[in-house]
Structure 1
């Protein structure tokens, strides 16, 4: 299942996801810290969605109440996970 999620409260503006059989196939972040977000995308590729959420949900960026990893989890929840 492919989805596009508009982020809130982060430097990245959009996350594109491809999930198949509860496993992350691809993630692309638009905007934000390119190197860090490429790293996150590579690390979560092949992971079970539940594991991604367990590890990344609630991560904050500085004084913000969210972060790009946290927004990824929000996108996954919006997709029904």
Structure 2
């Protein structure tokens, strides 16, 4: 299942996440820091939603209360809940 998530409070504006059950299969960011947004999808591929939340949920960026990683954790949870 592919899910589009509009980010809040980050340089990236949108995340497309594909899940197979609760496993992250594919992630694409729109906007943001090119290097980080190439690395993050590779690091989370194959992880469960819960693992993504544990590893990168709550990370902050430049004094903001969120980050692209944190937004990805939220996107994964939202996508998982939407497929139920």
Task: Flag structure 1 segments of 5+ consecutive residues without an equivalent.
Answer: none
Instruction: Name the residue aligned to 2:19.
Output: 19
Q: Secondary structure at the match of 2:65?
A: coil
Moved over 3 A (4+): none
| TM-score of the two chains, using structure 1 as the length reference | 0.94
Higher relative contact order (CA 8 A, sep 6+): 2
CA distance in 2, matches of 1:24, 1:77: 10
How many residues are matched? 81
Once the two structures are superposed, the pairs formed by residues 61-80 of structure 1 within 5 Å of their partners are 61-79=61-79, 80=81
CA distance in 1, matches of 2:6, 2:77: 13
Contact 2:49 2:77 in 1 (8 A): no
CA distance in 2, matches of 1:46, 1:37: 17
Instruction: Name the residue aligned to 1:48.
Output: 48
Q: Deviations over 1:32-53 (max 9, x none)?
A: 0011111001010111111111
